[in-house]
């Protein structure tokens, strides 16, 4: 150790040179960490080299360099500054990379609200969390630079007073450039002006991952609804909405109000429709039989492989995140969801008993905080089923009984059907019921998800190894979900009260593979690189199935056996329409938009004419309605709620 200190003393430069070398070391640190981020994100050394000519790379270098310099001087250690900034940048890049691998969606500011559940989320997706050669190279490069920073920390160290002053100066320069002047000096030159609402993937594409996330954080703190956001302007919007919805007829008083059972089926879709895959027997035979008795079709969703809570909140509240820069709704304060009339709140106000049950705990999305404000009378999670379900209440050991109902490592969809039936029987005398069930059995990961004796599905595909194993286990989960739905429908055939079952898959599973790509890319359905996806690639992967079935055909929205497209943007209005309730103005607007639009997300857009586009359309049927809805959502969520009370 003495020899190392002596060697460092011999290379210690004079004070002026230490200033210059410290600044240079800080900026070089920015280059090292920016290159590591790019390598993790692109998994390509060639892409990193090409990025050296891109402005977003050098803005990122300056961002990370100034931050490293400021912290190094304030902590009196080049090593400490590099360790903090480098570890944060590399970790951020890995989280973003793995989230994109699993879901095709980038990391967002809203995801940071789930930081306490990182371990559980990682466990649910453990099969995809493997390090590639380039990832290891990025880590190795970062470690090597940290060792250099450790070696030079003492030779470049300044006196505490000057180091503190220099750190404050670097921090001031960082703040002036990347906060005070971020709009005109950084994001406008990068082609991502902060006044524009763009999705996270678009911001990342223009600015890089680090500055893309910083842009979202900046927007959250400096959001401006524009000079035309005034009470008079919002009253004009309200008047236009009233005119747009004036042709909607009042509901019939004679039509009975049916029970509504809403089921979010985890990762359910028609697996038999996958290219090149054939099954010995139809894996969704029950679902397909019920389609002949109900109304069904493609359910378009806002995500792939992730974000169930966002999807269900869009269905239940009508808050289209695609009109709000693709934000994560679950990151909002629960109070926000009381400002507009949610589906359960409207039903509750019209005499329905409303309850939600989820066959998992409440640790990931903390649904209880939000859902308790949506109008549910009761919320049930996996620890609560003895409150109404006889077999669980009578069991000698509750958790031993619950463990006996596990299938595919989670509580089974068959159990969820039993729970919904039991909850209905407890409250059927209270008037119509609205029960919302969230399944879990078919959740990822899929590698060896089911024990060999649980696998009853047989299929043939061109896949091998990990991809073949994932597809087989996924197909078993989808088969079990279909069978559980059939069981539920068979029960309600015997019920006298009119009952509607609304069943939908929240999203397709991501099916990411440890060596890169996905099951979908291995089947040739879409490119492995989501950055080159076109509109039809989103149609193939961002659609699942839905079904509206009833024991009384008069309760269906169309003739039995008919098909139509719907989405997380439209389904909430469709549910209210099934009940015959006079909708609030807010939902009438969403229903009016749904005549012409199927879905409008932060990623892609689809109209009733079957045309799908990636840039948002600026004209055509339904576009004015979307503009009005955007204004109302901004007023309700970010603004002063000038007209929100009139939407209820």
Strands 353-358, 278-279: parallel, antiparallel or unpaired by DSSP? unpaired
Domain extent for 557: 261-510+537-626
Q: Residue 87: which of 124, 132, 33, 128 has the closest Cα?
A: 33
CA distance 458 to 467: 15
pLDDT band at 5 (very low <50, low <70, confident <90, very high): very low
What would the mean pLDDT of 89-107 be, rounded to a whole number? Answer: 82
User: Is there a contact between 334 and 537 (Cβ–Cβ < 8 Å)?
Assistant: no
Which tops the pLDDT comparison, 380 or 324? 380
Note the pLDDT of residue 12.
53
CA distance 301 to 320: 11
**Could you tell me the CATH number of the domain that includes residue 326?**
3.40.720.10
What six digits make up the tokens of 642? 């000038």
Residue 485 has pLDDT above 90, yes or no: yes
- Number of folded domains that form the chain: 2
| Residues 184, 273 within the same domain | no
| Residues 171, 294 within the same domain | no
Q: What is the DSSP string of 426-446?
A: HHGGGSSEEEEEE--TTPSP-
Residue 265 has pLDDT above 90, yes or no: yes
Q: Per the domain annotation, does 444 fall within a domain? A: yes
pLDDT tens, 421-436? Answer: 999 999 998 889 999 9
Q: Residue 392: which of 382, 380, 402 has the closest Cα?
A: 402
CA distance 120 to 132: 22
Q: Per the domain annotation, does 644 fall within a domain? A: no
Q: Residue 535: which of 486, 596, 607 has the closest Cα?
A: 607
What would the mean pLDDT of 27-42 be, rounded to a whole number? Answer: 94
> Token match 């009508």: residue?
318
Q: Per the domain annotation, does 135 fall within a domain? A: yes
Residue 129 has pLDDT above 70, yes or no: no
CA distance 582 to 309: 27
What would the mean pLDDT of 578-589 be, rounded to a whole number? Answer: 95
What would the mean pLDDT of 285-310 be, rounded to a whole number? Answer: 94
What would the mean pLDDT of 26-50 be, rounded to a whole number? Answer: 93
What six digits make up the tokens of 74? 């304030």
Which tops the pLDDT comparison, 161 or 334? 334
Q: Residue 385: which of 401, 366, 372 has the closest Cα?
A: 401
3-state secondary structure of 460: strand
CA angle 561, 564, 569 (to 5 degrees): 140
What would the mean pLDDT of 503-528 be, rounded to a whole number? Answer: 90
| Residues 410, 308 within the same domain | yes
Q: Residue 196: which of 209, 183, 181 has the closest Cα?
A: 183
pLDDT tens, 172-194? Answer: 999 999 999 999 999 999 988 88
Q: Per the domain annotation, does 615 fall within a domain? A: yes
| Residues 273, 153 within the same domain | no
Residue 543 has pLDDT above 80, yes or no: yes
DSSP for residue 45: H
Note the pLDDT of residue 6.
47
Least confident of 120-134, 221-235, 399-413: 120-134
What would the mean pLDDT of 568-590 be, rounded to a whole number? Answer: 96
Which tops the pLDDT comparison, 19 or 246? 246
Residues recorded for the chain: 648
Q: What is the mean pLDDT of the chain?
A: 90
Q: Per the domain annotation, does 234 fall within a domain? A: no
Q: Per the domain annotation, does 228 fall within a domain? A: no
What percent of the chain has a predicted confidence (pLDDT) above 70?
A: 94
What percent of the chain has a predicted confidence (pLDDT) above 90?
A: 72
What would the mean pLDDT of 586-608 be, rounded to a whole number? Answer: 95
| Residues 26, 120 within the same domain | yes
pLDDT tens, 322-376? Answer: 888 767 898 889 999 999 999 999 999 999 999 999 999 998 888 999 999 999 9
Residue 576 has pLDDT above 50, yes or no: yes
CA distance 102 to 444: 10
| Residues 189, 276 within the same domain | no
| Residues 332, 449 within the same domain | yes
Residue 211 has pLDDT above 80, yes or no: yes
Q: Which of 198, 222, 246 is the last residue of a domain?
A: 222
Residue 128 has pLDDT above 60, yes or no: no
Note the pLDDT of residue 10.
47
User: Is there a contact between 576 and 524 (Cβ–Cβ < 8 Å)?
Assistant: no
| Residues 344, 198 within the same domain | no
Residue 122 has pLDDT above 80, yes or no: no
pLDDT band at 9 (very low <50, low <70, confident <90, very high): very low
Q: Residue 354: which of 381, 328, 379, 385 has the closest Cα?
A: 379
Q: How many CA atoms lie within 13 A of 85 on its CB side?
A: 34
Q: Which of 192, 222, 252 is the last residue of a domain?
A: 222
Q: How many CA atoms lie within 13 A of 189 on its CB side?
A: 14
User: Is there a contact between 438 and 366 (Cβ–Cβ < 8 Å)?
Assistant: no
Which tops the pLDDT comparison, 116 or 635? 635
| Residues 335, 436 within the same domain | yes
| Residues 186, 319 within the same domain | no
Q: Per the domain annotation, does 526 fall within a domain? A: no
3-state DSSP of 486-543: HHHHHHHHCCCCCEEEEEEECCCCCCECCCCCEHHHHCCCCCCCHHHCCHHHHHHHCE
CA distance 8 to 174: 30
**Bridge partners of 612?**
606
**Bridge partners of 436?**
262, 356
Residue 2 has pLDDT above 80, yes or no: no
| Residues 313, 431 within the same domain | yes
What six digits make up the tokens of 477? 């989960």
What would the mean pLDDT of 624-635 be, rounded to a whole number? Answer: 96
pLDDT band at 114 (very low <50, low <70, confident <90, very high): low
Q: Per the domain annotation, does 48 fall within a domain? A: yes
pLDDT tens, 441-452? Answer: 999 889 899 999
| Residues 445, 494 within the same domain | yes
3-state secondary structure of 37: helix
Residue 482 has pLDDT above 80, yes or no: yes
């Amino acid at each position: 150790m003495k020899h190392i200190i002596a060697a460092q003393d011999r290379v210690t430069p004079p004070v002026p040179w230490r200033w210059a070398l410290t600044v240079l070391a800080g900026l070089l640190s920015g280059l090292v960490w920016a290159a590591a981020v790019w390598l993790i994100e692109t998994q390509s050394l060639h892409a990193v080299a090409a990025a050296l000519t891109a402005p977003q790379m050098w803005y990122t270098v300056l961002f990370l360099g100034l931050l490293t310099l400021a912290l190094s001087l304030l902590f009196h250690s080049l090593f400490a500054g590099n360790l903090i900034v480098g570890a944060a940048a590399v970790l951020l890049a890995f989280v973003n990379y793995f989230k994109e691998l699993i879901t095709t969606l980038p990391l967002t500011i809203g995801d940071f609200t789930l930081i306490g559940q990182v371990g559980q989320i990682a466990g649910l997706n453990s099969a995809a969390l493997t390090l590639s050669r380039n990832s290891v190279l990025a880590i190795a490069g970062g470690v090597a630079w940290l060792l250099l920073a450790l070696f030079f920390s003492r030779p470049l160290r300044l006196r505490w007073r000057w180091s503190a002053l220099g750190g404050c100066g670097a921090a001031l320069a960082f703040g002036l450039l990347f906060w005070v002047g971020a709009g005109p000096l950084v994001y406008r030159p990068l082609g991502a002006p902060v006044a524009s609402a763009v999705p996270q993937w678009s911001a990342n594409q223009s600015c890089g991952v680090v500055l893309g996330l910083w842009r979202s954080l900046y927007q959250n703190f400096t959001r401006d609804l524009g000079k035309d956001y005034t009470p008079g302007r919002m009253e004009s919007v309200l008047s236009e909405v009233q005119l747009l919805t004036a042709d909607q007829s009042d509901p019939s008083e004679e039509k009975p109000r049916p029970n509504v059972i809403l089921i979010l089926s985890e990762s359910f879709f028609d697996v038999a429709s996958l290219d090149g895959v054939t099954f010995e027997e139809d894996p969704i035979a029950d679902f397909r039989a019920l389609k002949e008795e109900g109304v069904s079709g493609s359910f378009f969703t806002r995500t792939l492989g992730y974000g169930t809570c966002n999807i269900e909140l869009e269905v239940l509240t009508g808050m289209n995140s695609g009109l709000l820069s693709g934000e994560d709704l679950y990151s909002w304060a629960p109070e926000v969801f009381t400002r507009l009339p949610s589906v359960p709140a409207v039903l509750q106000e019209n005499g329905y008993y409303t309850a939600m049950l989820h066959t998992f705990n409440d640790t990931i999305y903390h649904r209880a905080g939000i859902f308790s404000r949506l109008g549910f009378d009761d919320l049930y999670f996996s620890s609560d089923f003895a409150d109404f379900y006889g077999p669980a209440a009578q069991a000698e050991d509750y958790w031993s009984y619950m463990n006996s109902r596990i299938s595919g490592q989670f509580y089974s969809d068959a159990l969820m059907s039993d729970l919904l039936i039991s909850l209905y029987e407890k409250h059927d005398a209270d008037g119509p019921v609205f029960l919302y069930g969230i399944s879990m059995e078919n959740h990822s990961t899929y590698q060896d998800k089911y024990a060999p004796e649980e696998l009853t599905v047989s299929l043939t595909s061109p896949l091998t190894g990990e991809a073949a194993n994932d597809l087989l286990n996924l197909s078993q989960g989808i088969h079990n979900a279909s069978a559980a739905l059939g069981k539920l429908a068979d029960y309600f055939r015997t019920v006298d009260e009119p009952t509607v079952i609304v069943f939908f898959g929240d999203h397709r599973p991501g099916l990411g593979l440890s060596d890169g790509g996905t099951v979908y890319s291995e089947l040739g359905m879409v490119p492995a690189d989501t950055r080159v996806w076109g509109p039809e690639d989103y149609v193939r992967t961002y659609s699942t199935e839905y079904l509206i079935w009833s024991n009384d055909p008069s309760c269906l929205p169309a003739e039995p056996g008919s098909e139509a497209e719907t989405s997380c943007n439209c389904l909430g209005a469709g549910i209210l329409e099934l009940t015959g309730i006079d909708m609030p103005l807010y939902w009438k607007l969403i229903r009016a938009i749904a005549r012409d639009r199927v879905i409008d997300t932060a990623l892609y857009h689809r109209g009733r004419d079957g045309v799908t586009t990636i840039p948002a359309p600026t004209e055509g049927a339904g576009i004015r309605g979307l503009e009005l809805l955007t204004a109302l959502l901004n007023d309700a969520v970010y603004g002063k709620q000038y007209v929100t009370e009139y939407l209820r």
